[in-house]
């Protein structure tokens, strides 16, 4: 099963006998600014217009726990996540399609969580809402309660020690912008740089100018060049486990299984005992 779906494919699926559950996970990383601009409000964006039938899911409250020593977006409480999914109509026997405002990070976080907790059929709308050419609605959806019960997989998740080990034994990809990887700038976390041994692989290089994923063959070639060859274990991290989920999605499109370090740099850099590498080389 492909991990992504085009807007035209989604339009067709929504008119079929078994239309997918739609999740709207619009979200933006918000940084404090001197201008005092209000943070992005995904719920308000959803209320202003969404793909018909789509239910809003709050990344910060339902796809993550509160920030703390485990990072800015640690794993959600599974009871909270499960209730949110069932409220949205998610059932184990019905396909799910997730979309966001176009960046793909938030939708990928929902995709990864659902896949990691056992849902067999989840896809992300390639290009997000901007790719959708159909009508929008403002009505509040009221889907029937779903039956999905999240059961975490024994694989696919890395902690800090596992990420450090994988950077030496396999390939650990850093999905952040190159300047953050190199330690030239760090707008959020206390220390700049990267996990020693990790390879720079910015998420934005997985998509074209329209925000849609590059063809699977091009993605596979990119990741192969970065060391993700057959037989090599692959992991990925970012700042807080959101854009890294998008990298994991790109790897899935390319046919490369990858584990996710959810705590990512926000957890790693909060511990002064953990080593930090700077510059362009993995070290």
Among 144, 121, 128, 146, which Cα is nearest to 46's? Answer: 128
Residues 6+ away with beta carbon under 8 Å from 173: 198, 199, 201, 223, 226, 228, 234, 235, 236, 237, 247, 258
Q: What is the pTM of this model?
A: 0.96
The arithmetic mean of pLDDT across residues 247-262, rounded, is 98
Taking all residues of the chain, what is their mean pLDDT, rounded to a whole number? 95
The arithmetic mean of pLDDT across residues 204-208, rounded, is 96
Tokens encoding 257: 């299984």
Asked if the model's pLDDT at residue 31 lies above 80, the reply is: no
Distance CA 283, CA 279 (A): 9
Among 186, 101, 132, 179, which Cα is nearest to 12's? Answer: 132
Tokens encoding 44: 């308000």
Residues 50, 137: contact at Cβ < 8 Å?
A: yes
Asked if the model's pLDDT at residue 30 lies above 80, the reply is: no
| Chain center to CA of 80 | 18
Q: Which of 96, 238, 252, 259 is catalytic?
A: 238
pLDDT per position as a tens digit, 145-181 = 999 999 999 999 999 999 999 999 999 999 999 999 9
pLDDT of residue 1: 63
How many residues are given for the chain? 283
Asked if the model's pLDDT at residue 33 lies above 60, the reply is: no
pLDDT of residue 76: 98
Asked if the model's pLDDT at residue 238 lies above 60, the reply is: yes
Residues 237, 195: contact at Cβ < 8 Å?
A: yes
H or E stretch including 237? strand 234-237
pLDDT-derived band at 47 (thresholds 50, 70, 90) equals very high
pLDDT of residue 40: 86
Tokens 């990858």, residue located: 258
263 is catalytic: no
Among 232, 150, 169, 236, which Cα is nearest to 200's? Answer: 236
| Chain center to CA of 117 | 14
Q: What are phi and psi of 174, to 5 degrees?
A: -100, 115
Looking at residue 40, the DSSP 8-state letter turns out to be P
| Chain center to CA of 237 | 10
pLDDT per position as a tens digit, 79-129 = 999 999 999 999 999 999 999 999 999 999 999 999 999 999 999 999 999
Distance CA 86, CA 84 (A): 6
Residues 10, 97: contact at Cβ < 8 Å?
A: yes
pLDDT of residue 38: 77
Among 262, 185, 174, which Cα is nearest to 31's? Answer: 185
């Amino acid at each position: 099963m492909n991990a992504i779906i085009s807007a035209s494919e989604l339009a067709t699926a929504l008119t079929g006998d078994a239309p997918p559950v739609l999740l709207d996970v619009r979200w933006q990383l918000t940084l404090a600014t001197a201008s005092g601009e209000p943070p992005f409000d995904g719920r308000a964006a959803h209320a202003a217009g969404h793909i018909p039938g789509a239910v809003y899911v709050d990344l910060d409250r339902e796809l993550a726990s509160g920030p703390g020593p485990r990072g800015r977006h640690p794993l959600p409480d599974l009871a909270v996540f499960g209730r949110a999914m069932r409220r949205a109509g998610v059932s184990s026997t019905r396909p799910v399609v997730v979309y966001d405002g176009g960046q793909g990070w938030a939708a990928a976080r929902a995709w990864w969580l659902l896949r990691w907790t056992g849902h067999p059929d989840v896809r992300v709308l390639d290009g997000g809402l901007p790719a959708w050419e159909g009508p929008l609605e403002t009505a509040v959806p009221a889907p029937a309660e779903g039956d999905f019960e999240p059961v975490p997989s024994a694989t696919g998740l890395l902690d800090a020690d596992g990420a450090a080990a994988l950077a030496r034994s396999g390939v650990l990809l850093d999905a952040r912008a190159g300047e953050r990887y190199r330690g030239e700038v760090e707008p959020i976390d206390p220390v700049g740089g990267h996990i020693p041994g990790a390879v720079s692989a910015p998420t934005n290089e997985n998509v074209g100018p329209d925000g849609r994923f590059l063809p699977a063959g091009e993605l596979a070639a990119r990741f192969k060049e970065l060391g993700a060859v057959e037989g090599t274990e692959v992991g990925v991290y970012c700042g807080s486990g959101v854009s890294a989920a998008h990298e994991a999605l790109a790897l899935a499109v390319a046919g490369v299984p990858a584990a996710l370090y959810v705590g990512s740099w926000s957890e790693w850099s909060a511990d002064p005992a953990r080593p930090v590498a700077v510059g362009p080389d993995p070290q």
